[in-house]
Amino acid sequence: MTVVTHVLATTLGVQALNLHGPEAVLAYVFGVGVDADHALKAPFYLRAVGLKNQRGYYWRSSLQEPVALLWILPLCFLLGTVIPVMFFAVHLAMDYSMSYEKMPFFPYSTRVTRGWLVKVPDKLKEGVVAAALLCMNLIAFFARR
């Protein structure tokens, strides 16, 4: 999914759970911020592909894979909150609904999967999820007023 849908999903979760301060920051870090690895991989993409859009380029790192739970779960215990794992799980579920390649156990395994819903076009999934999240965010926002 794109950063827009991740922001919409995280914002909805923050509103629904009435998070503020440090908990809201954790929600955005684990709901959206895990995509920061794209910025780290951009120089490699530019070197390999240039400025053109190449479908199928592997943008992901272990930061966005289920293997990241190996450090996120202990962090939750250390911080005394489930917010990081909750928002990371939503991020992960959204990404795994897309059809591009993912390596769930990278760097420990090079096993590749395409996730689920691979027969449904990615643009359709993105559009439906974005529209639904936008509507739910608006409902949540106006319900609080």
Peptide bond into 107 cis (omega under 30): yes
What's 118's DSSP letter? T
Judged against a pLDDT cut of 80, whether residue 135 lies above it is answered with yes
Prediction pTM value: 0.86
Map tokens 């911020």 to a residue. 33
State the pLDDT at residue 59: 64
Confidence class for position 56, pLDDT limits 50, 70, 90: low
pLDDT tens per residue, range 1-37: 889 999 999 999 999 999 999 999 999 999 999 888 8
The upper half-sphere exposure of residue 47, i.e. CA atoms within 13 Å in the direction of its Cβ, equals: 5
Q: Which domain holds residue 60?
A: 3-143
Please give the tally of structural domains in the chain.
Answer: 1
Distant-in-sequence, close-in-space partners of 1: CB < 8 Å, separation ≥ 6: 94, 95, 97, 98, 125, 126, 129
